Amino acid sequence: MAKPMTKAQLVTAIAEGAGSDKKSAGAALDALLSIITKEVSAGGAVTLPGVGKIYCRERPERMVRNPATGESIKKPADKVVKMTIAKALKDSVNG
């Protein structure tokens, strides 16, 4: 498996693709991440066309097992961030 792209590499790629400088590409990336974080934290969802949909899902209270002791404990309800991958992206990876 290849190493994941770093933020600096992503900013450079965005700057080259958009024909702009790294500073404005970095600012655009930071703005995008801020918008996604605010929207998903508020319970909404964000769709990135061609990439997928990022959303928050609530998990109910449930029983879990401590692997060290084998003891069952009750885990309170919580929220998790999920992402559904777009069909276009799946097809480009598999095809």
CATH number for the domain spanning 49: value is 4.10.520.10
Does residue 52 share a domain with residue 38? no
Total domains in the chain come to 2
**DSSP symbols for the chain:** -PPPPPHHHHHHHHHHHHT--HHHHHHHHHHHHHHHHHHHHTT-EEEETTTEEEEEEEE--EEEE-TTT--EEEEPPEEEEEEEEPHHHHHHHH-
In a domain, 1, yes or no: no
pTM: 0.78
Indicate whether 52 and 19 sit together in one domain. Answer: no
Together in a domain, 31 and 57: no
pLDDT single digits (tens) 31-85: 999 999 999 999 999 999 999 999 999 999 999 999 999 999 999 999 999 999 9
Domain holding 37, by residue range, is: 7-42
Check whether residue 49 and residue 87 sit in a common domain. Answer: yes
Are 49 and 95 members of one domain? yes
Q: Is residue 59 part of a domain?
A: yes
